[in-house]
Amino acid sequence: MAEFFFTSCPSVCPLVAPQMEELHRIFQDVQDFAMVSFTLDSEWDTHERLFDFAEEKAVNHSNWVFLTGSQHSIYSLASEGYYVAAYKDTTKSEDNIMHDGILVLVDQNGHIRGMYDGKERNSIEKIEMAVKQLRIN
């Protein structure tokens, strides 16, 4: 499961976080399931800040990792690799990071198997069913 977020997000991320935490709780002991959260704000979200954020969420680091990189690389990965919106809107007086809160289910071969609205609570059940189906096949 992949997501694009940032720790200081005032809008989308607080709506997605409970779903990610629930997925983590459900799948934390499943050996072949992993979660990756890519920060869209690598200037603010240092390694230390991401570690503290994960600790605050009581994350088991064996199956949920938080990654950073250059903003250009992360934005390209989001849009070209995972087909989700992620860009800086510089049309306003201050930069805004635009993103959509989509959770992307990727199989062990790197193929996208589903995209889910992370802001919606009912996405959890859909993701659970999809993961179970992938694990059967």
pLDDT tens track for 54-83: 988 888 778 899 999 998 999 999 999 999
Q: Is the pLDDT of residue 19 over 80?
A: yes
What is this structure's pTM?
Answer: 0.91
Mean pLDDT calculated for residue range 20-38: 93
Q: What is the pLDDT of residue 61?
A: 74
> 91 to each of 60, 70, 86, 101, how far by Cα in Å?
39, 21, 15, 21
- Contacts of range 51-58, beta carbons closer than 8 Å, 24 or more positions apart: 53/7, 57/17, 57/21, 57/24
Structural tokens at position 98: 């635009």
38 touches 3 (CB < 8 A): yes
128 touches 114 (CB < 8 A): no
